[in-house]
Amino acid sequence: MEFTDHNPNSTSIASQHSTNGTTIVTENRNPNPNGAQPYVLMFPVMSQGHMIPMIDLARMIAARGLAVAVATTPLNAARIPSVPLLRVLELPFPGTEVDLPRGCESLDALPQLSLFPEFMKATRLMKPKLDEILAIDRPLAIVSDFFLPWTLDTAERIGVPRLVFQGISCSAHCCLELVKKFRLWDAVDSDHEPFELPGLSIRLTKANLPPLMRNPSAEPPGVIEFFNEIRRADSESAGIIFNSFYELEPDYFEHCRKTTRAWHVGPVSMVTPDTGSRGKAGSVECLAWLDMFERGTVVYACFGSMCRFESDQLAEIGLGLEATGRPFIWVVRETTEPLGSISGLDGFEERVKDRGLVIRGWAAQVLILSHESVGAFITHGGWNSVLEGVSSGLAMVTWPLSAEQFINAKMVSEVMGIGFGVERVGKEVVRREKVKEAVEEVMGEGGERKRMRAKELKEMGRRAVEEGGSSHMSLGRLVEDLLNGLKQGA
C-alpha cells in the first residue's frame, strides 16, 4: 500500500522533513521491505471525543511532511479529512460478534454504558486483520489510543515502537499514577480528608478520584482488569503524547519526564480549528443565533457525548439555566427523551425560545466556544472540553461525572484559577438553585478575576502552538523521533 500525495510541491520525506520550522536533510528509517513511503499508524478509539484530537494530531504530523494512516471502521472513515499525506486504513468492526447492535461502531452510539466492556472486546477482535495488514505494510511506529492496550502486542510483533496518545491531562496522569502506585487512599479515613502526592504540590481526596478507584466492586466484571492492562501497556510503550501545553502544566510535565518520554503538542484545536470533524449540519444556523447576542453574555452547557442524566436531573439543569435569565445553549444527547415530556420541563422550550437554544446530539463545540458572544462554559470536565475552554479563553463551571474529571475540576478551579465547581455528593440531584448560583459565580462580578485568567491562558496556548512555541517545538521533536525510530530522548 502506498500513499498518493496530491500536493505537487511536496518533497518526499525520504530526503527531507520539517521539524521546528526548518527543513532538515536526513536519512530516514524505513521499516518497509517493499520500499513504500514511510508512515505512522494512528489508531483512535471510535468515539468523537477520542477521534477528533487524534485526527488533528495526524493532520499536524502530515503537515510536517510525515505520512500518516488512521485506522478506523467504515462508518467512522468519513470523519477523516482528505488532506495530503493522510489516508484511512479501514478495518471491519466485529460488533455483532459480541452482541452489539448492528451499525454500532462508536462509543457514542452505545444504547447504554453497560455495553462498554463488549465494545472494547470488539475493538480487540480487530487485531488479527490489523496484524495481517501491518506485517506487509509496516509503519515507523504505532500511535495508539490509550484505550487500545492490545496494540502494544501488535507493535512488538512487527518490531516497531508504540506511543500512547493520552486522552487525559498530564496532571491527571501524574496524579493517578502516584495514587495507584502508593495506594494513597489507604492513608485517609474519609472521602474528604486530603492526602499528599509525593513530588507534587497538589492535595487530593478520595472524592477527587475516579469512581473505579473509590469503589471498584461496583464496576462490571472485567473493567478493573481492563484498566490495569491499559496501565501496563502504557508503562511498556515508548512514550506518551499529551494534548496539552507546557505552560499550562509545567510542574506535571517535569514530574512526568523523570520516568517517561513525553511530548506536549496541544492545544491541537488551535492548530486545526477548521477541521471538518468539528462541524455538523446546523453549525451555520447555530453561529447565526449566537450573532444575535452581545459579547460574553451566552452560557454554553455541554456534558460530553457519553453523559446520561436521569430525567429529574435534566429538569433541574434546564430550570436552572432558565432561572439565570441569561441566553444559553444547552446540548443534550440525541437519544434524550423530548424535554417537554419530562416533569418540570413542559413548556420549557417555548418559554425560553427567544434566549435559549437546545441542540440534540453532537454540537460544533470549538466553533461555539470561540464565538465572542459566549461568556461561560458549563462542562463535565473531560479533558478535551477543558482544553477547548482554555483555548477559547472562557471561565468554566465544572460538573464532573466520571473518570478523571474530578481531578480536572480541581485543576480548573484551584490550579488554573479559571472556574468554579458544582458541589455534588454521590448521585444526588443538583438543584436548579445551585445551577443558577454557579452561573452567576462565573459570569458575575465575583468571577472577573477568573475570566481575566482564562484570557491569559488562551494567549499562552496560542503562543505555544505558534512557530517557536513550546508545543510547536515538541511536535517537531516528536516527528524527528518518529523518523529516527525513537532512539534519542524526547
Residue 35: the pLDDT is: 54
Q: Residue 19: pLDDT above 70? A: no
By the 8 A CB rule, do 333 and 409 touch? no
Q: What is the average per-residue pLDDT within 217-234? A: 87
Q: Residue 117: pLDDT above 60? A: yes
Q: What is the average per-residue pLDDT within 207-216? A: 84
Residue 9: the pLDDT is: 34
- pLDDT tens by residue, 78-101: 889 899 999 999 999 999 999 999
Q: What is the average per-residue pLDDT within 44-49? A: 93
* Confidence band for 7, pLDDT divided at 50, 70 and 90: very low
Residue 423: the pLDDT is: 76
By the 8 A CB rule, do 10 and 85 touch? yes
Q: What is the separation of C-alpha 184 from the centre of its chain, rounded to a whole number of angstroms?
A: 27
Q: Residue 490: pLDDT above 60? A: no
Instruction: Choose between 38 and 490: higher pLDDT.
Output: 38
Domain ranges of the chain: 39-271+466-484, 283-463
- pLDDT tens by residue, 352-374: 999 999 998 878 899 999 999 99
Peptide bond preceding 267: is omega within 30 degrees of 0, i.e. cis?
Answer: yes
Residue 30: the pLDDT is: 52
- The angle subtended at Cα 166 by Cα 52 and Cα 105, nearest 5°, is 45
Q: What is the average per-residue pLDDT within 455-463? A: 98
Q: What is the average per-residue pLDDT within 375-387? A: 96
Q: What is the separation of C-alpha 400 from the centre of its chain, rounded to a whole number of angstroms?
A: 15
d(CA 345, CA 318): 7
Q: What is the average per-residue pLDDT within 190-200? A: 90
Which CATH code for domain 39-271+466-484? 3.40.50.2000
**283-463 CATH fold:** Rossmann fold (3.40.50)
Percent pLDDT > 90 in the chain is 68
Q: Residue 449: pLDDT above 70? A: yes
Instruction: Choose between 30 and 46: higher pLDDT.
Output: 46
- Kindly report the average pLDDT of the chain as a whole number: 88
Sequence-ordered list of residues with C-beta below 8 angstroms from that of 409, at least 6 positions apart, any chain? 381, 398, 399, 400, 419, 421
Residue with cell string 465572542: 372
Residue 14: the pLDDT is: 39
- pLDDT tens by residue, 403-415: 899 999 999 999 9
Among 116-120, 204-208, 339-343, the range scoring the smallest mean pLDDT is 339-343
Instruction: Choose between 24 and 59: higher pLDDT.
Output: 59
Question: Exposure string (b/e) for 418-435, b if CB count within 10 Å is 16 or more?
Answer: bbbbbeeeeeeebebebb
Cα dihedral: 288, 289, 291, 295 (round 10): -150
83-92: Cβ within 8 A, 24+ apart: 83/59, 84/5, 84/6, 84/7, 84/10, 85/3, 85/5, 85/7, 85/10, 86/58, 86/59, 86/62, 87/3, 89/41, 89/133, 91/126, 91/129, 91/130, 92/126, 92/129
| Residues annotated catalytic, as ranges | 50, 145
Which grid cell sits at 406? 474530578
Residue 89: the pLDDT is: 97
Instruction: Choose between 337 and 442: higher pLDDT.
Output: 442
Residue 6: the pLDDT is: 34
Q: Residue 34: pLDDT above 80? A: no
Same fold, 39-271+466-484 and 283-463: yes
Task: Burial-class residue 33 by CB neighbours within 10 Å (0-12, 13-18, 19+).
Answer: exposed
Name the residue type at position 89.
L
Question: Could you say which DSSP state residue 36 is in?
Answer: P
* Confidence band for 23, pLDDT divided at 50, 70 and 90: very low
* Confidence band for 189, pLDDT divided at 50, 70 and 90: confident
Residue 304: the pLDDT is: 85
Name the residue type at position 158.
I
Q: Residue 154: pLDDT above 60? A: yes
Residue 40: the pLDDT is: 98
d(CA 390, CA 102): 38
* Confidence band for 322, pLDDT divided at 50, 70 and 90: very high
Q: Residue 393: pLDDT above 70? A: yes
